[in-house]
Amino acid sequence: MILQVTFSNLFSFDAPQTISFVAGKTAKHPEHVVKYPKRYDPNLVKSAIVYGANASGKSNIIKCFDFIRTFIVKGTQIDESIPRVPFRLRKNASSESSFFEIVVRIKGKIYSYSIKFDNRSILEEKLIHIRATTEKTLFLRIGHENSTKVEVFGSFDNIEEKKFFDYIARGTRPNQPFLTETVTRNSKRYKDIYDWFKDSLVIIYPNAIYANFGMYALPNQKMKEIYAEFFKNLDLGINGISEIEIDSSGIGEGFPQNLIQEIMKEATKNVQKNIVAPSGKRYRLIKDSEGKLHLFKLMTAHRLPDQSETILFELTEESDGTMRLIDLIPALVDLCENEKFYVIDELDRSMHAHLTRAFLEYFFSCSKTESQILATTHELDILDLDLLRKDEIWFVEKDKQAASHTYSLEEFKPRYDKDIRKGYLKGRFGAIPIVRNIREQTWQN
């Protein structure tokens, strides 16, 4: 689970900004808090829902997570510049370093992982094990444009392992994270931290089509039942999700032939590949144990009013809100069954307020694991202390220098329990757009 994340000189964030998941003093919704038996382990909330005006920097929070995940998981190529986007509205910011730190709890241990970097190289990289009363540095990397010095602390199983890590340290390029390099060289010493970024951190953008969500679990009867239950409870007029097998040559719907051949070549025996056609239709391609290809198309099922027959619809015939929900339901199931951290930009995109609220209510009710979400939204219906804790509501606002700042509702001493939506719209918490009287603009005269 994430305890907190801090970033600076990235996108619209200039000075260091932090979002914390450490539970505050709020007593409401104790089911939203993961409590640990040891006194020194902080209790953690399961969500951070972020509000702010358009262009305030909400989506840049997601971009910060996306940047660091890509940087760590994929690393860099030789002589490749680090693809950061520094703050652009202050002189000299582009020549100064950027910073990212994440404090995360993995398998009962708390780690702080941080990187300080510019366009060319990593200037500092540090991994710390945070213990009850002390902190233990696991490695410290100090870098310059053309050199890197890494100190690895702690005991080694043997002298050969020590020599191996010295070799990795000497061979780490200035633009490559040392954490990434150790995993690339097949060391398991810090693999749990690397795997958290690779497997547990999931990022969803509002316009993305999530090929790995809507189809990966369709062969699973449980997932079909969950879809059907959701559609029934939300009264969307859909009975469930189905798929039909079609001729594998049908994959040509708008796909370039060379891409089709590449997909066929990549699909190995007993492995499935999810495909999204340019038309928006979705497929599941399987090569069975005999090397034969099977292609399935995802459809929605509707019943006639007299319940006598089920009619299959193309996904492209459904509304944008329904498609968004189809994409998000498997993510919700993943959150409820596994220890994941989902970062979702514009959770409410294309969905009715009741659907957005239902998504969060289901998450809080079903999630028994150490899973969390961070989501940006404009939806005022969920700005409600009957749904969220004060320490789960965050705001982003730009200052006079056009730099984004983050802060929590927990920071406000007065109680606005009766109607925080009204308080937000009146500007009591900031993070709202300033709308001048456009009826008096001179261009209308």
- The residue with greater pLDDT, 369 or 139, is 139
% of the chain beyond a pLDDT of 90: 49
* pLDDT confidence band for 97 (50 / 70 / 90): very high
Any idea which of 74-88, 398-412, 413-427 has the lowest mean pLDDT?
Answer: 413-427
Given this model, what pLDDT does residue 424 score?
A: 67
Given this model, what pLDDT does residue 270 score?
A: 65
Sign of CA dihedral 213, 218, 220, 222: positive
Residues 100-155 pLDDT 10s: 999 999 999 999 999 999 999 999 999 999 998 899 999 999 987 677 889 999 88
Given this model, what pLDDT does residue 355 score?
A: 87
CA 390-391-396 angle, 5° bins: 95
CA–CA separation, 109 and 132 (whole Å): 10
CA–CA separation, 285 and 412 (whole Å): 52
What contacts 237, CB < 8 A, 6 or more positions away? Answer: 231, 302
CA–CA separation, 394 and 410 (whole Å): 9
CA–CA separation, 205 and 34 (whole Å): 27
Residues 197-247 pLDDT 10s: 999 999 998 876 554 544 444 556 677 777 888 888 877 788 888 888 887
Q: Average the pLDDT over 313-333 and give the result.
A: 85
Closest CA to 83 of 137, 25, 10, 23: 10
Burial of 307-346, coded b for 16+ CB within 10 Å and e otherwise, reads eeeeeeeebeebeebbbbbbbbbbbbbbbbeebbbbbbbb
CA–CA separation, 176 and 187 (whole Å): 16
DSSP letter at 440?
Answer: G
Q: Average the pLDDT over 164-186 and give the result.
A: 94
Are the C-beta atoms of residues 329 and 321 closer than 8 Å to each other? no
Given this model, what pLDDT does residue 255 score?
A: 61
Give the CA distances from residue 437 to residues 51, 144, 396, in Å, rounded to whole numbers and listed in that order. Answer: 23, 52, 24
Residue identified by tokens 């025996």 is 269
pLDDT at residue 352 greater than cutoff 60: yes
CA 56-48-3 angle, 5° bins: 115
Sign of CA dihedral 203, 208, 211, 214: positive
Are the C-beta atoms of residues 429 and 395 closer than 8 Å to each other? yes
Q: Which pairing describes strands 2-8 and 98-106: parallel, antiparallel, or unpaired? A: antiparallel
Residues 272-305 pLDDT 10s: 777 777 777 888 777 777 777 788 888 888 888 8
Q: In residues, how long is the chain? A: 445
Closest CA to 114 of 133, 140, 87: 140
CA–CA separation, 54 and 432 (whole Å): 8
Are the C-beta atoms of residues 294 and 288 closer than 8 Å to each other? yes
Given this model, what pLDDT does residue 214 score?
A: 47
Identify residue 7 by its one-letter amino acid code.
Answer: F
% of the chain beyond a pLDDT of 70: 85
Q: Where are the alpha helices (DSSP H) in 76-197?
A: 159-171, 178-184, 191-195
Are the C-beta atoms of residues 429 and 412 closer than 8 Å to each other? yes
Domains along the sequence of the chain with CATH? 1-207+329-445 (3.40.50), 239-317 (no CATH)
At residue 270, the 3 state secondary structure works out as coil
pLDDT at residue 252 greater than cutoff 70: no
Identify residue 385 by its one-letter amino acid code.
Answer: L
pLDDT at residue 318 greater than cutoff 60: yes
